[in-house]
Every structure is written in structure tokens, then in C-alpha cells.
Structure 1
């Protein structure tokens, strides 16, 4: 019997875009792999990869105690049924609920992947502060004190803040920058002729800086700078920071942006642009910027955790102050009006993507975390012996 890996992720599309290659690498290494997500449209494709699939009850935006208890029970039932040797939990809510489930079912190795601090940690409203306090205490009990728990983070700022809040022990942490990019699928293409296009690939959230993009577009239009802004992604109704579809339509009608919605042809969208932009308020290590870097595009982002790990100011793009549409407009104008600068910075983006963010690198680093965590428990040690025998 092969050792078992269970990946627990809120949504199937996120597994497919961010973790599929890790699951495939684990499968090649000898693991039996299962995926648990809230029910979505990709179950058939996930199962076609040879993975078992388990639907779970989860509402990312809910704070209803009964619904949340149901989510914990749902995740626990999956662990009890599949009996994984390694449980890989992604994002804050499932880190907490999955840690409870792992403790109840005796899973020998738990890996918690936190890709950024998220909505709760980017504001000081009363509700956010209250929820943040609950999350911090829960992390302290379930994650920091968990002998079988390892934590994957994407940038050192998150490690410092989580440790300072008593949510993790730095000794638990492995730093893996980003989710990995397919550097063959996301390959450089000659930029198209015509007016420079700025592409933003993201959920349509206030916290992603989408409002600042509209502000920058208005500034550059009024200044007479020829540039087009293209938004790829949908609003996220489960996130309190979502931008209403009506607002996006109004911006499009004003001629500020083109909103294309969610797309599956991201390499083609990058090939059709000249500049990639994500003026986010905070990130883990944004995949959209990493993909744009692999595609050889210059980047414009904000000088905040996560983004500054991907963009080196003046090297492969520009960093601007957060929530500053005027500074964003200046950085975009500098690139839009200088093709040679775009070419130089885009070349550096590609070089860094190949050296630092390839999927092969990220997948192997993650498998190493699994192995290290398994080695700490007798059942995990038996699983490792099975791997070595395959």
C-alpha cells in the first residue's frame, strides 16, 4: 500500500492553478494522492489525473458557528475515510479546520501552506479585529503547538508577523516563494504592435488594488498617455473586499479599463500585453506576477510583503507605494513610453522566473517538507520506507 497524501483546498480551480503540479510530482514519487475541495466544476478533470476526489462542506465567507462546525465535521470525515499519511492544508480557514481534523484522526504529518495573510490581516475594523483575535488564538493552540505540524510560507514578512503574534514557531517554517510556474507554457513572446497594454490578472478586489488601477487609468487618459488597461478575473462575492460588477461595468463604459472576466488563456493574454500590473495591498507571492515574469513582461506592483519578493524595483519592474494611484500612473507611464526599458526589464523577469520560481523547484521543495515531517513519526517513517521501495 502506497503512502497517502491528502490536499485540502477551498476551491477546485485554485488547486488546479496553484497545486496541481505538486500533486502530480507526489504521485510520480509514489504517493496515492487525494484532493478535497468544496464542490466545483473540475472534479472530473481532477479524477482524470488519477487522484481521488472528496467534496467538502465549506463557505469561505461564512462566520456562522453552526456552518463552521459543519465544515470541521466535513473535513474530519474525509480524513477518517482516506487515512492520509500527509495532510496538506492550504489557507487560513482550512489550516485551522484541517488541523482539528488531523488531531482527531491521528494523521502523522500535517503541512500548513499559508499563501499570504489575507483579508483579516489587512484592516482594523471591529469585525476584522475580533476575527483576527480568534484566528490568532486558534493558530497558537493548533499550529504552533502541533508537534506534527510544518508550515510553508512564501515571504519573510509573513513569518515575522505570524511568529510575533504567537501563531507559529519559526522552527516550523519552510520558505517556498510562490506556487511555481510552468516556464514552458509561460514563455516570452514578442510584444504586439500598437498602444501598450497593461494586464492585471486577479480577483476583482479592493485589496488587489483594482481601484488604484482605475485611478491610474484616469490620470493617464487625462494626461494624453496612450495606454490600455485590461482586467482579467471576476469579483469574489465571498470576499468582503470584492468590487461589484456594476463598478467594473461603469469603469469600462468610461473607457478606463477592459474587463474580460475569468479566462483560461492566460499565456495568450500575457503575450498580448506589454506590462503586467498588480498593485495589491499584501500578498504571499502572487502567481499572476510570477507567470508574467516567466512570460518576459516587466512588472509594476506595490512595495508590500509578497510583491517585493517578485519585483525588484528598477530591475524587473517598478514598486510603488500602496494605495497610491498617482505613483502607479507614473510607473506605468515610464514603461509605456520606453520600449527599450520594457524589453530590458522583461528579460530580467524571465531570468528570475527560470532561476527561482519554476514548478519543478517548488514541487521538489514541497516534497522535501512532506518527507521531513513524515520522518518525525513512526507511522510516517513506515510511509517513507514504502516510498523508497517504489
Structure 2
């Protein structure tokens, strides 16, 4: 009787996870560490988004399988009808163990279609609900009912600021069961903190002297980021104080509008840098950070600026006030207060000791928002839902 041939072990297929957002730029900017985390847990990671704004190649470089879906940012765009059909085809062709959705349009369509096509649990990260204190009435009339409807298709909701947490409770989510408060998308403290001499200096690139004060804003050129307020305040400030420069990093639909405003009104010492990959280095060479948003989820730029040891001046809105402690790590100003913003910036420009004191306090506070901590919290959430514990 011969020796029996050992039974071959068939490798179990990897659990497939889908990240869904309106555009790849969002996934590339915020979610690559979480995709890598799931890959390390043995998952096959997919992503679906519109390639219209670029950065798809960055997602693919992580070994993520990408599916182009022609979402439009506006919920009124007819392009979303085509996106609905193509996403439905994708979900009918694949069975995902977990679907993690982001951004309002993709998140709404994705949650509905994931439910009707029988996908695994659906997680939704709200990067700042479009309904919030002070939001236009139309936002409450459109987005709040949409989120209340979509709650029934959402197995887990992740929020990143206190106001959204409170609103999520009103929507019927239960803390610890299907509602999770995570401190943003995390910031890499070592990457953002002080380092040695730069290989390429932004001050040298712009011809700025060491003693000149650099104020930096990193934000998409969009209505929500509210650069009009910042430029109006800078015009007031620059008319009475020299030796300071404003650096604007970012692109967007309003870029040409703000560039034209600076040219037409002859606003001095404003530098538009466009999209940059060296933001941590730019922040290390800056003296303070400013953000004048109308709304935020939890600003990654503010976190990076605090990690770099910079004081922050920001508008007193959700997602900024969760990070900036007025008078301790920076200052909060009211929306629309041009003179108040100009005065606050001027105070910091002329007081180096105050900048350094606020910056040290900010760097200490931001430790609680580190990427390492966020990864641990997200790993626990992913494990919970992938194990089938959630009902």
C-alpha cells in the first residue's frame, strides 16, 4: 500500500476591500496609509473614483486596483447618472468584504448600491458634513435628508469633529456600536517636524531673506476655503507692514480668480505656488500658518502646521476650533472679519517670541492626532467589520 499523497491546501482568496470617493485626488491625499494597512492585513484593495482631477497613478502605485467611475462633485450633475450605472456594474461583478466610502456624492450612491448588490459592511467617513452650524439653508434641505436616508445603508460612520459627532447622534447612530470618533486622517509627526538643512529651500526659490516672515496657507482654491477673506486681510496688512510674505499652496477652480485679484489690486508679496509635493519643507521654512475656511472636517493642513511647530490663525468654524486653542496654540477669528484677521496676523508677524510659544504648544497638542494613533484606531474598526462582528 503506497504512501498517500498529501492533500493540497488551496490558498484562501483574499478579502476584497473597495475604497470609493468622487475623485482619486481625495484618495491619494488622505487614504493611502489606510489602503496599505488593509493590504498588510491580507486584503486585496480596490478603488473607484473619477480620474478627472488626476493622481490616479499615485493610488495604483500602492498596488491598488483602480476602477474609473465618472462621478461629478455636484449632486445636480447628470454625469452622476452614468456614474450610478457604471458603479452598479462594478458592484454586480465583484463581491467586496468591506466598502469604505468617502465624499458626499460617491458615498451616497455607493452606500445604496452596496446594499442592493449584497456587498459586505459599508463604512462611511464623513470628512465634514455639508450641513453644519452656519451652513446655507439649502445644505440642510439637501444634505441632511440625504444623510438620514443613507443612514439605513451605513454599517459604520466615522466622524472627526465634535459637531459632526453630535449631528450623527441625531441621525440615529450609536457611539461605540456604529459611530466612531477618529482624530482625522492623521499627521506624520516625524515627517512634519524639524529637520536638517533642506536640499531645496523655498526661501531661496522665492528670493526671501532669512529675517522676512513667511505666512503660509495650503488649501484647495475653492469657495469653501474662502481665500477672498485671506487676500482682503493681507491687502490691509501689507499696506502698513513690509518684510512679510504670503505663500498660497494649492490649485482649484478659483485659482485664476485669486491670481487676477492680486494683479488687479496690486496686493504685494503674495506667492502662488500651485500644487506642491514638498509641503512639509515649505512649512519648516514658514513662520506661521493661516486658514480661512468656511467649513472643515478636521483640517490636515492645520495638523501639519502644528506638527511643524507653527502657530495657526484660523476661522472659528467646525474642524478648525477642534484643533486650534485660542490664545494657546494660535488664534481663531470670526468669518468675514477682515480687520480682525489682519490684526491677528500682524500681531504674530511682529512678535517672534509669541509665535514660538504658540508653536511649541501646538506641536505638543497635535501628538494626539498622529498618524500612528489614527492607524491603530482604524485597524480596530476594520478588524471589527471584516470579522463580521457588526450587525
> Shared fold (TM-score greater than 0.5)?
yes
Summarize deviations over 1:325-383 as a string: whole Å, max 9, x none: 21111221121111111112212222222x21221211221222222233446xx89xx
The worse-fitting range, judged by mean Cα deviation, of 182-191 and 320-329 is 182-191
**Match of residue 34 from structure 1:** 46
> Which one of the candidate residues 208, 211, 214 is aligned to 1:197?
214
Report if aligned partners of 1:34, 1:51 keep a CA contact under 8 Å in 2: yes
SS in 1 for 2:322: helix
Partner of residue 278, structure 1 = 291
Given the alignment of the two structures, is residue 72 of structure 1 paired with residue 84 of structure 2, yes or no?
yes
Shift of 1:283: 0.7
Q: Which has the higher contact order (CA 8 A, sep 6+)?
A: 1
Could you tell me the TM-score, scaled by structure 2's length?
A: 0.85
Is 1:337 aligned to 2:350, yes or no? yes
* Structure whose residues are more often helix by fraction: 1
Alpha-carbon spacing, 1:120–1:306, altered in 2? closer, same or farther (3 Å): closer
Q: What is the 5 A alignment of 1:67-146? A: 67-118=79-130, 123-124=135-136, 128-129=138-139, 132-143=140-151, 145-146=152-153
Are 2:28 and 2:56, in contact at CA under 8 Å, matched by a contact in 1?
A: no
SS in 2 for 1:49: coil
Aligned residues: 364
- Equivalent residue in structure 1 for 2:248, among 231, 242, 247: 231
Correspondence for 1:187 among 182, 193, 199:
193
- Return the TM-score normalized by structure 1: 0.86
Task: Assess, with a 3 A threshold, how the Cα gap between structure 1 residues 219 and 167 changes in structure 2: closer, same or farther.
Answer: farther
| 1:154-303 equivalence runs, <5 A | 154-164=160-170, 166=171, 168=173, 172-189=178-195, 193-224=210-241, 226-236=243-253, 243=254, 245-252=256-263, 254-256=266-268, 257-303=270-316
Cα distance change on mapping 1:278 and 1:119 into 2, 3 Å: farther
Is residue 313 from structure 1 mapped to residue 326 from structure 2 by the alignment? yes
Alpha-carbon spacing, 1:134–1:124, altered in 2? closer, same or farther (3 Å): closer
Alpha-carbon distance change, 138 to 206 in structure 1, aligned in 2, over 3 angstroms: closer
Correspondence for 1:384: none
After superposition, the CA RMSD in angstroms is 2.5
SS at match of 2:17: strand
Structure 1: 5+ residue stretches without partners? 237-242, 382-390
In 2, the alpha carbon distance for the partners of 1:120 and 1:339 equals: 36
